[in-house]
Amino acid sequence: MHIESEVSDHIDILVVGFGPAGAVAAGMLGQKGHQTLVVDRLTEIYDKPRAIAIDHEILRHFDNMGVADQVLPYVAPFTASQHFGAKGQLIRRIDMVAKPYPLGYTPSMVFTQPPVEVALRRHAESFDCVTVELGTELIDIADTGEEVLAKLKDADGRVRTVSARYVIGCDGAWSTVRQLSGMKLEDLVFDEPWLVVDVQVLDGALSKLPSTSAQFCNPARPTSFIMGPNNHRRWEIMLLPGEDPREMEKPENVWMLLAPWLSPEDGELWRAAAYRFHALVADEWRRGRIAIAGDAAHQQPPFIGQGMCQGLRDVSNLVWKLDRVLRQESSPDLLDTYTVERRRHVRTLTGKIKAIGQNICERDPAAAEARDARILAEGGGQPLTITRQDIVPPIEEGLIAAEGTPARGVLFPQPSILEPSATTLLDKVTGTGWRVLLDGRKIASGEWAGLCAQLAGFAVHAVVPAGKGNGEASVLQEKDGVLADWFDRIGAVAAIVRPDHYVFGAARSLADLNEQLSDLHRRLA
């Protein structure tokens, strides 16, 4: 990198890209007080919907950030998706887990992206330590080993150099950060052309449409139908050989494809965009002081709506680790676990999504009929219901306890906690740092009181079902028994929970817990 001028600014973190992943990263860093500069070459939020689905893990993070109330007006439950086979018969349902919801929120949701992005950006901009520069482009970058030097060009063509302790590239599929730093994308072998169509449907025409989201696994033309918030409806329509994607985006051709459901007078065409549904993952997610996240690090087919969720998982994983490193609480080696954890998680989930997508995209009529028979046979001759939450994997390697440890790498539940005048979700009581949660039915207060003194920086709480406590103020009572059921199911009496809500490990006894804590302290330091 050739530096033409003196360094103009010294910051903790440079975030490149101010889409959802960049905005969440900046907001999380702002909450932790780190001097953060966010740049984006665009000056406005894209005013059309792209992502449409989020889940309870992501809303949990939004709530932890204090932005959930600003997001929720643009969110609705994701209805069950009914899959119809080659002959139009129902072959499978993909739904969400039942109440009481394990993380405290509706497990699967749809949302309207532009106003949600506005809320996420405003949250990031609310911190004095966060500076946002729109219309500013990254044109070069170099990691010196001690810092990262980044050359930036503003909308007027002025060029300056800033130094950052770390850089996070959240700059999309064509990531400049990824390309300049030499990280490569690996092709996971899925490449299909689709047309994505968003319509604001008039009230009187809603009755023409399916009452739930649907997947039409018709070999003649596979099509997805998604019910967005309010009157927003989306179709994802497979393009056939010989069809020109740019031609198929034209309104007259879009309405021809929508003719089985709607006519032009039934609604307003909001967006029509042709995409190639890819399955790609970066070979590296961090080189030295430069990391990538979101679409810069991976792209996957949208068949269970996890694309944006994956990007926000990336930054929620990375930021708490960066925070520890910046505060010199952990060595930079901790950041190695970012690539290990997220790359494995994305590869596993993408493999599952690919399998679903390959079933949906089957174009051979005979193979499609065989597929339908096989799926129905899995349900004993009836349509089988699976949940989106069962499809999303745990963390399988990285900063988690040894293999064989109960619940290692799974998301920790978030029950509703009874308080004198209301109920509140667990995170608001315990905070979102490292936590030890205990089954108060099986561990008496005298047994665990000493833990609090030992565990500097860890919150320690015992939880019991409502009415099962002995009146001790230190014991939390949960409303629905979510956590008690979880402890019973995994056969544990305690769990160590990370700041991103994944379980380091669950313990069958206090002796096991102490052993896991010793392992964790060694690895964190």
**Structural domain boundaries of the chain?**
7-74+107-184+280-355, 416-524
Asked whether residue 148 carries a pLDDT value surpassing 80, the answer given is: yes
Give the separation between CA 150 and CA 133, rounded to whole angstroms: 14
Q: Is the pLDDT of residue 314 over 60?
A: yes
The DSSP secondary-structure symbol of 255 reads H
Total residue count of the chain as it appears in this document: 525
Q: What are phi and psi of 252, to 5 degrees?
A: -65, -35
Which helix or strand (DSSP H or E) is residue 494 part of?
strand 494-497
Q: CA-CA distances (angstroms) from residue 316 to 6, 62, 230, 285, 500?
A: 33, 10, 29, 14, 6
* pLDDT band of 50, cuts 50, 70, 90: very high
pLDDT band at 428 (very low <50, low <70, confident <90, very high): very high
CATH number of 7-74+107-184+280-355: 3.50.50.60
Residue type at 160 in one-letter notation: R
**Per-chain mean pLDDT for the chain:** 94
Task: State the distance between the two ends of the chain, measured CA to CA, in whole angstroms.
Answer: 34
The whole-number pLDDT of residue 302 equals 85
- Residue 304 DSSP class: T
Q: According to the model, what pLDDT value does residue 452 have?
A: 64
Does 162 have pLDDT greater than 70? yes
Q: What is the pLDDT of residues 388-405, one digit of tens each?
A: 989 999 999 999 999 999
451: pLDDT strictly greater than 90: no
User: Bigger pLDDT: 303 or 123?
Assistant: 123
- pLDDT > 70: percent of the chain: 97
Each residue of 190-224: pLDDT tens digit? Answer: 888 999 999 999 999 999 999 999 999 999 999 99
For position 470, what pLDDT does the model report?
Answer: 64
Residue 472: its pLDDT value, please? 66
Binning pLDDT at 50, 70 and 90, where does residue 354 land? confident
CA 7 vs CA 13, 150, 152, 482: distances in Å: 15, 9, 11, 53
Average pLDDT over residues 340-369: 93
pLDDT given at position 456: 72
> What's the CATH number for 416-524?
3.40.30
Mean pLDDT over residues 401-427, rounded?
96
Provide the pLDDT for residue 370: 97
| Rounded mean pLDDT, 2-15 | 82
**Other beta carbons less than 10 A from residue 525's beta carbon:** 10
Across the strands, what pairs with 475?
A: 462
- Gap between the Cα atoms of 272 and 248, Å rounded: 9
pLDDT (0 to 100) of residue 455: 75
Asked if residue 100 has a cis previous peptide bond (ω within 30° of 0), the answer is yes
Residue recorded with tokens 């690996």: 186
Give the residue from 199, 361, 185 showing the smallest Cα distance to 273: 199
Model pLDDT for residues 462-476, shown as the tens digit of each residue: 999 998 866 566 799
pLDDT, residue 493, reads: 96
Model pLDDT, residue 244: 96
Take residue 393 and report the two structure tokens written for it. 């994997």
* pLDDT at residue 356 tops 90: no
Q: Which residue blocks in 139-263 are alpha helix, DSSP H?
A: 176-181, 245-248, 251-258
Q: Which residue has the tokens 């393009």?
A: 239
What would the mean pLDDT of 52-75 be, rounded to a whole number? 97
Answer whether residue 444 shows pLDDT above 90: no
Q: Give the span between the Cα atoms of 415 and 444, in whole angstroms.
A: 20
> How far is Cα 314 from Cα 433, in angstroms, rounded to an integer?
17
| Residues near 63 by beta carbon (within 8 Å), at least 6 away in sequence | 105, 425, 427
pLDDT at 447: 74
Region 132-147: mean pLDDT is 97
Percent helix, strand, coil in the chain, to 5, is 35, 30, 35
